[in-house]
């Protein structure tokens, strides 16, 4: 009886973490859009981006913090739970997938942390400095933007792709819902990596927009399913 209650409590915790994380992920997108005024190309225009009002930089900072709380940290909880319930039945691939989701979280948080830590100091330098300081802050911002978006976050593709495809297939095989949707998300992440390596960034951004919507959808659906699951 106690074991069943513990399992139910853990399952409910994971369900709520998934749902709240998804909501924070969507709010993050809203703050990001507000920061750049709906023009996402501003991110790669340092002279324009660093000249935005202080409120825009504050929105961007908030967006990056929410990014870590919505798209990354919850997956340590969700990924750990799925690993615990699927590893006995599905073997070593689930162990490898667990390493992949941890790597995804580390890459994502590294990229987001660089951006939220740098935006306000660089914006302040840009606002107060002479031409040389402005040029230096712009170069620093552009390097960080490319390093995060086209480096750290691009490398999420292989590991999140592997986790989504393997874990989604295992979920389906075990009768858990929404495994197919997770496989679609994994395929999208892997696709972004491929087209990004080929320098097809316009295509990559379109695919990225789709999985930024679908991953929270999967998290909400999975979270609700866990909350509705009866005690064993």
Q: Is residue 26 part of a domain?
A: no
Task: State both tokens at 16.
Answer: 């709520």
**Helix, coil or strand: residue 19:** helix
* CA 44 to mean position of chain CA atoms: 20
Distance CA 69, CA 64 (A): 9
> If pLDDT is split at 50, 70 and 90, which confidence band does 232 have?
low
203 inside domain: yes
Residue 38 falls inside a structural domain: no
Q: Is 209 contained in some domain?
A: yes
Read off the pLDDT of each residue in 110-118 and give the average, rounded to a whole number.
96
The answer to the question of residue 34 being in a domain is no
Show the tokens assigned to 79: 């990924």
- CA nearest neighbour of 138 among 44, 5, 38: 44
Q: Is residue 55 part of a domain?
A: yes
Contact between 193 and 161 (Cβ < 8 Å): yes
Q: Look at residue 198 and tell me whether its pLDDT is greater than 70.
A: yes
Cα separation, 118 vs 64, whole angstroms: 11
Q: Mean pLDDT, the chain, as a whole number?
A: 94
Strands (E), 85-200: none
pLDDT exceeds cutoff 60 at 89: yes
Q: What's residue 38's pLDDT?
A: 87
Q: How many domains does the chain have?
A: 1
Q: Are 114 and 153 in contact (CB under 8 A)?
A: no
* Separation between Cα atoms, residue 186 and residue 191, nearest integer Å: 9
Q: How confident is the model at residue 6 (pLDDT cuts 50, 70, 90)?
A: confident
Is residue 36 included in any domain, yes or no? no
Share of the chain above pLDDT 90, in %: 91
Tell me how far apart the alpha carbons of residues 133 and 223 are, in angstroms, rounded to a whole number: 48
User: In whole angstroms, what is the distance from residue 149 CA to residue 154 CA?
Assistant: 6
> pLDDT by residue (tens digit) across 40-72?
889 999 999 999 999 999 999 999 999 999 999
In-domain check, residue 196: yes
Could you list the residue range(s) of the whole structural domain that residue 128 is in? 2-20+43-228
Q: Check whether 106 has a pLDDT greater than 90.
A: yes
DSSP string, 29-47: HHHHHHHTTT-GGGGG-HH
C-alpha–C-alpha distance, residues 50 and 139, integer Å: 11
Give the residue among 128, 112, 136, 129 at the shortest CA–CA distance from 60: 112
What is the length of the chain? Answer: 232
């Amino acid at each position: 009886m106690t074991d069943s209650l513990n399992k139910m409590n853990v399952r409910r915790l994971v369900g709520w973490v998934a749902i709240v994380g998804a909501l924070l992920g969507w709010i993050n997108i809203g703050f990001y859009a507000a920061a750049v005024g709906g023009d996402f190309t501003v991110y790669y225009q340092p002279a324009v981006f660093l000249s935005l009002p202080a409120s825009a930089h504050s929105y961007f900072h908030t967006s990056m913090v929410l990014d870590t709380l919505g798209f990354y940290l919850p997956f340590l909880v969700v990924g750990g739970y799925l690993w615990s319930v699927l590893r006995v039945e599905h073997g070593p691939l689930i162990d490898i997938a667990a390493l992949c989701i941890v790597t995804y979280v580390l890459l994502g948080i590294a990229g987001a942390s660089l951006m939220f830590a740098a935006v306000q100091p660089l914006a302040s330098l840009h606002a107060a400095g002479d031409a040389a300081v402005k040029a230096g802050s712009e170069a620093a911002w552009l390097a960080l933007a490319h390093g995060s978006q086209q480096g750290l976050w691009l490398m999420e593709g292989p590991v999140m792709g592997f986790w989504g495809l393997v874990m989604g297939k295992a979920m389906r095989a075990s009768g858990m819902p929404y495994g197919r949707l997770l496989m679609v998300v994994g395929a999208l992440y892997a696709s972004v990596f491929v087209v990004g390596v080929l320098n097809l960034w316009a295509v990559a951004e379109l695919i990225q927009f789709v999985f930024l919507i679908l991953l929270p959808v999967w998290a909400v659906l999975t979270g609700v399913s866990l909350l509705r699951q009866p005690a064993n």
